Structure 1
Amino acid sequence: MRFLLLALVAAVLLLYLTFGLRFGYVTLTPTHLLNAQGENHYTFELYEPNQKVGVTGTCAVRSGQATLRLLDPSGTQVAGQSCPKGTWSLSLLGQGEPGIYRLVVAFDHYTGTLNLQETRQ
């Protein structure tokens, strides 16, 4: 039993040091992150021309930084925002051609809370 517990602790420590720990589901619940690194990708489908799609919300950063970029179907960045230390409101909306819009969130040793909601107008 001790070996199993030590193996579990080692696995969690390895995850923390390489990718970070993430608790929550972005766009549905506030997501709590500890030492998050790397990129996350989220997609939003736009069906009608000139409709707006994207995310709004907040980021509360204790350490590190998160950079959010919204890309249109052609891959061009239409909105972007960075979250340095502190509490920030977020609004990334894209408008234009129908297709799949991608939200790319890049984490650099991010510790804090990210609370995003999908927004359509």
Structure 2
Amino acid sequence: MGVRFLLLALVAALLLLYFTFGLRFGYVTLTPTHLLNAQGQNQYAFELYEDGKAVGVTGTCSGRSGQVTLRLLDPSGTEVAGQSCPPGTWSLNLLGGGHPGIYRLIVDFKHYTGTLSLKETRE
């Protein structure tokens, strides 16, 4: 009885997560991330220390449904690069630079199911 209850509670928790935030397996910028019905927004920061250099992400997105939108903001908050990934397989290249400071990558998920594979890139 106890094991069945725990199993039922686990299934209920997974379903609740799936329908509210989606399920995410992996860590963006470190490993390929597998997403099921992902919703919401994630932010990642990259610090640039030198003038004339660039920072950002490269990689791929392979989606079956939904959409993911990636935007790279410079230290002043201005969008310097952006890409959207509808269903299909797409390569990603978002780089910004020129001024030292913290660059932010904003990732917006809209019922996205697929794989997001990003790698931090510096030039």
TM-score range for the pair, normalised by the shorter chain length: over 0.9
- Helix, strand or coil at the partner of 2:28: coil
- For structure 1, which runs of at least 5 residues remain unmatched after alignment? none
Query: Is the partner of 1:17 in helix, strand or coil?
Result: helix
Q: Which of the numbers 98, 109, 114 marks the counterpart of 2:116?
A: 114
Using structure 2 for the length normalisation, give the TM-score: 0.97
The answer for unaligned runs of 5 or more in structure 2 is: none
Q: Does 1:67 align with 2:64?
A: no
Question: What's the TM-score once normalised by structure 1's chain length?
Answer: 0.98
Alignment of 1:1-121 (within 5 A): 1-121=3-123
Identity percentage of aligned residues: 80
Distance 2:52 2:113 in 1: 36
Q: CA RMSD in A?
A: 0.5
Runs of 4+ in 1 over 6 A off after TM superposition: none
